[in-house]
Amino acid sequence: MPKVRFCITVEEGEPSPDGGDEIAFAVSANAGEAPRPMGKIASGGELSRIMLCLQCALAEVEQIPTLIFDEIDTGISGHAAQQVGVKLQSIARNVQVLCVTHLPQIAALADHHFRITKTSDD
């Protein structure tokens, strides 16, 4: 996502059981586009990649020892999947990464694999 712009706005509010501040994420995935609310415009693949970036940034600050990504590959394939795999591999140099994936581009870069299957009776 070389042209993406990511913006965060914070409106201070009064503390309550639901929190205090209102925080909104806005994104522009294409050059020349104004950032708009992420939840309304981002595709599944874009959301997956943005979450990967946020998780990575938070892991560095919070020194989280293990990151778990459940189907981070939603909505992506090809080159984008390869780049997500490379990023996960890079992160795994410093923290433990557990990743549920269906894509060979991501799985091929892992050090260890576990095959999980689901069965049902009747």
Q: Is 41 helix (H, G, I), strand (E, B) or coil?
A: helix
Quick: pLDDT tens for 79-117.
Answer: 888 988 998 998 888 889 999 888 999 999 999 998 888
What does the alpha-carbon distance between residue 67 and residue 98 come to, in Å, rounded to a whole number?
Answer: 6
**Which burial class, exposed, middle or buried, applies to 51 when counting CB atoms under 10 A from its CB (0-12, 13-18, 19+)?**
middle
Quick: pLDDT tens for 23-49.
Answer: 998 988 778 888 888 888 777 777 777
Residue from 57, 58, 59, 49 nearest 27 by CA: 49
